[in-house]
Amino acid sequence: MRCTLSRALFLATFATLLVQSCSSRTAPLWENFSGEKAFAHVQHLVDLGPRPAGSEALEKSRLYIIEQLKSAGWTVTRSEFSDQTPRGKMTFVNLIARFGTSEKKEAAQFLLCSHYDTKTFETIRFVGANDGGSSTGLLVEMARVLAMSPALAAKIELLFFDGEEAFENFTATDGLYGSRHFAEDLRDSGKAKYVRGGILFDMIGDKSLDVTLPPDSPPALTRNIFAAADALGQRAHFTYLGGGITDDHTPLNEIGIPVIDLIDFDFPPWHTAEDTLDKISAESLEIVGRVALYDLVQFELK
């Protein structure tokens, strides 16, 4: 009886695992995106504390991101550069990831972007659960899901920008350090013309999710994001922002690459000590992640 039960238990467990494996392969790609997994990545980053440019905590963030991406089959390049800031010359590090075990020399067709630094504050402890954390956790989970479709992943470049936050106020020379540097390199290399477009994620974890697209968003990308949200029954979470916004998509748009900024700018704890883990949700991360993946599969890279 004991042997029979053990064998039956083994067969039942094996069958369950087989069904789960087949299910994940046959389900639409976007349904594999897990808000819980994305949230866990955000929690890990927040546990490191404030992560401003140049800090030890940000380097620990980098190591974590690199580890997660490599485990999903991505090759990560550290793009280190220096720039003048209101606080003197500083070193920044962008993380650039392509799918596969070797570096790709050709340009990617599509960019998925997030900044992973948090703003420097002297008077408050700012951990940026939503601003800096949510989009980074989402993009790390996106890497895992995209790896399930190698042909699609091969067309994409993942970008984790350092130095998005201004040290004082956003100007032509303060803030967006990582995206400005990347855009300049892409333009100077002549590869910008091969990039079809991109999505920037920023502050997309708010429990009360209301993704507010800037009014100057690229029209085709806007239509596709709205269509993807509508197809998944999430259109109510996507609308327009009342005014323009300067973000990491700006330098890329300026060199002719249409990049849309998915950002929930209706977030009262923005740049306060209250931007903590309890203000974001796995559900919001999952909504944005699945809408973006649907857009990639059904529209942008179909």
Q: How confident is the model at residue 107 (pLDDT cuts 50, 70, 90)?
A: confident
2 part of a folded domain: no
17 part of a folded domain: no
Residue 101's pLDDT is 79
- What range defines the domain where residue 87 resides? 31-300
Q: Where are the alpha helices (DSSP H) in 48-157?
A: 56-71, 135-146, 150-153
Q: How many separate domains does the chain show?
A: 1
pLDDT digits (tens, 9 = 90+) for 31-63: 999 999 999 999 999 999 999 999 999 999 999
pLDDT digits (tens, 9 = 90+) for 127-185: 999 999 999 999 999 999 999 999 999 999 999 999 999 999 999 999 999 999 999 99
Model confidence, pTM: 0.91
DSSP letters for 80-103 = EEEEEETTEEEEEEEEEEEESSS-
Residue 72's pLDDT is 98
CA distance 252 to 237: 25
94 part of a folded domain: yes
pLDDT digits (tens, 9 = 90+) for 184-219: 999 999 999 999 999 999 999 999 999 999 999 999
Question: Domain with 143 in it: what CATH number?
Answer: 3.40.630.10
115 part of a folded domain: yes
Residue 15's pLDDT is 46
Q: How confident is the model at residue 7 (pLDDT cuts 50, 70, 90)?
A: low
11 part of a folded domain: no
7 part of a folded domain: no
CA contacts within 13 A on the Cβ side of 3: 0
117 part of a folded domain: yes
200 part of a folded domain: yes
